[in-house]
Amino acid sequence: LSAWSVTGVLNSTGHPDEGILVSGEAIRALAPTLETAPERVRALYGQLHLVQAISLARNGEDGAAWRAWDAADAVARSLAGDAVEPVTRFGQANVAAHTVAIPAELGQAKKATDAAERLDVATLPSVERRSRYLLDVARGFVGQREDVAAFHVLTAAERESVEELQYSVLAAELVRERLSRSHGTIRHDVQDMGRRLGVLPE
């Protein structure tokens, strides 16, 4: 759990190379125990692969990122029913959400939004995961300059949890990007969102 948490921090602070090392060490430590490990340990092993996939994607390592995702997917499919690890929320829905997150991190905007069409956000098991997923979808639309679609997805993310967006660096970046090229009525809507999220002064 500590390795998962630290890797997430390293990813979000611009040190994905270190995240790869931290998650990799934890994966190697858990691997010999898996044959007899309880489901929760196997779920943590799967979640470590997911967070490592994000590290690899942020490091531009496309193939390695998807290999890490494949490992996580195999673990999720091996768990009983719709089991979800209580802290990391690892499970099949979380693995599916990363089919959007990984291409979004790799700058593959169209691939991210195409993947989003195959996933129902309501299946994601936590407010944080739903909010983050919607931000990744919005990032895909912004990358394709589909700004109206991006705004609608950002609005859905805000409805999910305004607090999650207020403390999200990615949300602030997406709103600023939208403001840099929006015009007309939607510009006022984006400005209002920017003020609500603290990106713009009241």
pLDDT at position 184 over 90 = no
Other CB atoms within 10 Å distance of the CB of residue 167: 11
> Which structure tokens are listed for 165?
């967006």
Tens-place pLDDT, residues 77-111:
999 877 789 899 999 999 999 999 999 999 999 99
Q: Of 11, 32, 27, which Cα lies nearest the Cα of 132?
A: 11
> Which structure tokens are listed for 124?
């994601």
pTM of the model: 0.92
Sequence-ordered alpha helix ranges (H) in the chain: 2-12, 16-30, 39-58, 62-78, 92-106, 109-116, 127-143, 147-160, 162-166, 169-181, 184-196
